[in-house]
Structure formats: structure tokens, C-alpha cells
Amino acid sequence: MQAALPMYYPPREALQAFWAALAGLLRADGACAGLDIPLELSEPLDCHAQWQDSDLLLSQACGYPLVTLLKDRVRLVGTFAYDAPGASGVACRSPLLCRAGDARQALAQFAGSTLALNDRISQSGYNALRALLSAPGTPRPFFAATVQTGAHIQSMEAVRNGRADMAAVDAVTWALWQRSHPEEASALRVFGQTAPYPGLPLITSLQTPTDVVMALRRSLQALASEPAYAAVRAPLLICGFEATTLADYRVCMDMQEQAHTSGLRDL
């Protein structure tokens, strides 16, 4: 079996410590008896391929591909809550970032500018922003140019170094980057935010038995809430867990449909 938590970039040792605690809880759960639970997290070169692997025990995906590309191909385990600005329970909003010295104060003032985006299948970096720009009276096209970076951290760097003027990024990624790279982060500021949506979904293979899914939920709940694991989860900003359903992620499709209905299919 394989497991990965590839979407955020805390210190590697903190991520492995979190997995070691989670793996220990799973091994102690009778529902997981006989499972080959991995000793360490893997680092997939292609997340989309690993998400659909038949021996995937656990990974973290994105809400937009969950309801589009991954629909009926994976099982949803649940969603973490995070202690980060823009996050509330398992919901979050994408902060809109620009350079600290940029005088513009509202999204409308960035019409005709250059957008940095991580991926067009990203909920936080693309779908939520597109929905925000689908409001009546918004210029079409809104941006003069877009730069696709491949990752939120690269989008932030593109804004910082002047390749782009703004970006919508994941709230937890921004909070972790501020903590780990304070000097670089100080060159940026938040000037707005998107509407809320559920955070990154934790998924498992479609072939994972229901009793193992329930064991995953029990272990994740314990790790995210019990005082004994506070020091393990704190570096990742995790402060809770909820066994969410696909219905909770309907808002991601609603945002897509809102944009498409308004005639806005691409940024």
C-alpha cells in the first residue's frame, strides 16, 4: 500500500512524524490487521496518477478534481480543519495576493494585469477565483495575461519577482510559507479573498474496504483532536477533522457552473 500527503510543504520531518503517529494508530486498529501499512509517506511525481492507484491507502487531493476528474474513481475519507487565516472549520477561502508595495486595494483594480495560477484544475488557485470574476459587469477577459506556475509556492514567487501581479492561493500554503519563509512572504500582502469552499479532501482507493475507511476516519479524528498528539499536528496547522461527503464538495461544482453560466469558461 502507499500513502502521501503531497499538497502542503511543511518541514519534511514534521510530515513524517505525523504519518508515523497515524500509521501507529492504524496498526493498532483491528480493522487494519494484515494490511501492509507503509512506514513512510511517498513523494509522487504524478499526484493525479497516484490518486487513482488501486493500492492507495491515503492521500490528499483537491476539491475541484475530486468532483470532476476523480468522480467515481476514489473514496472520500474526510477533511482536516486548519488553524490558519481564511480557514474556518473544514472550509477555507483563497487569499488574493499582490506585492506589498502595490497600491491597488480591490480585485476590480487588477483588470488588465497578469495572473499567476498554479493549475486550471485547482480549486483554490483557479476555480474559486473564476467564480469571483463571473459577477455581472466584470471585464472580459479580465486579465491581460496568465502565467501557469504548477504550484502555489511558484505562483507566490512569480508575484514577488514581478512576473505576475496577483495570485489566488491556498490559505494553508500561504500560512505555512509565511512561517517558513518570513522574508519572502513579507514582500506580499493579502488584498482580498474568494468565497468559501471545503478544504483539501483526504482520499483512498475505490477498492479500500469500508471497515478500513472507518479505521482511517477514527485514526484521523484521534490524531487531529486528542491532546496527546498536539505536538505532532501543530507544525502542520491541523486543528480538527471531519468525515465529509461528496455533497459537501458540491460547492466546487457550483462555482464552475456559476462561471460557465455567465459565459466565463477560462481566465
CB 238 within 8 A of CB 80: yes
Q: pLDDT tens digits, the chain, 267 residues: what are they?
A: 999 988 887 678 899 999 999 999 999 999 999 999 998 998 888 888 889 999 999 999 999 999 999 989 999 999 999 999 999 999 999 999 999 999 999 999 999 999 999 999 999 999 999 999 999 999 999 999 999 999 999 999 999 999 999 999 999 999 999 999 999 999 999 999 999 999 999 999 999 999 999 999 999 999 999 999 999 999 999 999 999 999 999 999 999 999 999 999 999
Q: Which of 153, 178, 181 is nearest to 167 (CA)?
A: 153
State residue 236's pLDDT score: 95
State residue 71's pLDDT score: 87
- Domains observed in the chain: 2-81+198-234 (3.40.190), 91-197+255-261 (3.40.190.10)
Q: Is 266 exposed, middle or buried (0-12, 13-18, 19+ CB in 10 A)?
A: exposed
State residue 48's pLDDT score: 86
State residue 254's pLDDT score: 98
- pTM of the entire predicted model: 0.94
Distance CA 211, CA 214 (A): 5
Beta strands in the chain (DSSP E): 2-3, 56-60, 74-82, 87-88, 91-92, 95-99, 114-117, 145-148, 166-168, 188-193, 197-198, 201-205, 238-242
**Which of helix, strand or coil describes residue 13?**
helix
State residue 257's pLDDT score: 98
State residue 172's pLDDT score: 96
State residue 239's pLDDT score: 97
State residue 47's pLDDT score: 86
